Amino acid sequence: MSARRRTGDTRSREALVERALEHLWPDTHAFESTLVVGTFRSGFIQSLQSRADSVQGWSRWATAQTPGTPWPPSNQHARALIRLPKSKDEFDFVLKASVSTIPVGHHVWVVGANDEGIKSATKVMDKYLGGIVTIGSKHHCRLLRGTRTPTSRTFQLDDLEWTTTLDLKTGPIPWHAMPGVFAKGRLDEATALLIDTVPTLKTPRTVLDFACGTGPLAHQVHTYFPDADISMIDADSVAVHVARKNVGSARGYVSDGWSNVPMSSFDLIVSNPPIHTGKAEDHRILNQLIADATDYLSAGGQLVLVGQGRLN
C-alpha cells in the first residue's frame, strides 16, 4: 500500500498530521507566544489556545472560518509552527515570514505528511535556519525543527515581490508577482484563451473576476470596458495583494469562494477557476462557481469561464 493511500484523503491526512503533532511536540515547550502557520483543521488552533493564551494563527489563505492575510499580524513571537504548504514556493514564502517573527536562537517547527514532501522540506529550511533536526515521525508524518541564526535575514512583505513583463495582445505591461501565486505571475494558456473572448462580450456595467490570481483577466476587462465597475476575489490574500497593484482600477477582496463577495449582482463574471489542491485534482471551487453563479448575476448576466478540455 502506497504512502499516499495510507494517509488517505485530505481530511484524514490533516487528522494524522495533528495526531502526530500531539505526540511529537515536546511537553517541555510551552505554547507561549507561538505563531501557528497554515490551514490546520477547524478548532485546532483553539485547542492549542486552551493550553495557553498566546497562540496566534496565520494563513495567507482565507477559509470559511478565518480570513487570510498576506503577512503575519505580529512580528514578535517566541517560536513558529508551520503546517507544510502544498507548494515549495509557498513554503519558501511562509518560512521567510515566520523566521522574521522570532528572535535569534529561537525555533521554527514544520509538520507534514511523508507524501506531502516533508522529508525534503529540510532543503528549504537550510536556506533560512540552522541546526535542522527531525524531532520524530509518527503516522507517516514528520516534525522538523530549525533555529534562527544571527545570519538569518528579517524579511518584509514587499521584499518578496518581483516585477516581470506580461505579454498581452494589447501590448507588454509591467506585472507584480510573489511566491506561491497562480502561474508564478505569468500568463497561462487558459487565461490567455479567456482573455481573447473578452472583446466579443456585451458591454458590462459590473464585473467580477472570480479566483483572480494576480489580476490579468480583470486588467484586460478594464482595457476593453474602461467604464465597468470591476471587483476581484481570491482565497489567496497574497494574490489579492499583488492584484490590487496590477489592476489599480479594480477592487480586490480576499474571499473563500463566495464568502466575501462585495456585491450581489454582476453583469459579467469571468473566471479561470482552480481545479487542483496541490497536485491533486479538486473540482470543488469550479462546482461551487457554477452552482451559485446565478445568485450573483443580474438579469441577462453572463458567466464566462475557462477550463481544461477533459472537464464536463
The pLDDT, as a whole number, for residue 225 is 97
Each residue's pLDDT tens digit, 172-203? 999 999 999 988 888 999 999 999 999 999 99
The pLDDT, as a whole number, for residue 305 is 95
Q: Output the nine-digit C-alpha cell for 131.
A: 541546526
> What mean pLDDT, rounded, does the chain reach?
87
Range of weakest confidence among 1-15, 102-116, 144-158, 287-301: 1-15
The yes-or-no verdict on residue 6 having pLDDT over 50 is no
Q: What is the DSSP string of 5-34?
A: HHH-SHHHHHHHHHHHHHHHS-TTS--TTE
CB 155 within 8 A of CB 93: no
Range of weakest confidence among 5-14, 112-121, 216-225: 5-14
Over pLDDT 90: what percentage of the chain?
63
Each residue's pLDDT tens digit, 14-54? 777 777 777 666 655 555 688 889 977 777 777 776 665 57
DSSP letter at 117 equals T
Classify each residue of 200-232 as buried b or exposed e, where b means 16 or more C-beta atoms within 10 Å of its C-beta.
ebeebebbbbbbbbbbbbbbbbbbebeebbbbb
- Report, as an integer, the average pLDDT of 99-127: 94
The yes-or-no verdict on residue 73 having pLDDT over 70 is yes
Q: Binning pLDDT at 50, 70 and 90, where does residue 1 land? A: very low
Number of H helices, E strands in the chain: 9, 15
Task: Name the range with the highest mean pLDDT among 14-18, 60-64, 306-310.
Answer: 60-64
pTM for the full predicted model: 0.90
Contacts of 166 (CB under 8 A, 6+ apart): 172, 173, 174, 175, 185, 186, 187, 216
For the chain, domains (ranges, CATH) are 3-157 (3.40.50.150), 161-305 (3.40.50.150)
Decide: helix, strand or coil at residue 179: coil
Decide: helix, strand or coil at residue 294: helix
Any idea what the Cα angle at residue 238 is, between residues 236 and 239, rounded to 5°?
70
The pLDDT, as a whole number, for residue 24 is 64
CB atoms within 10 A of CB 107: 18
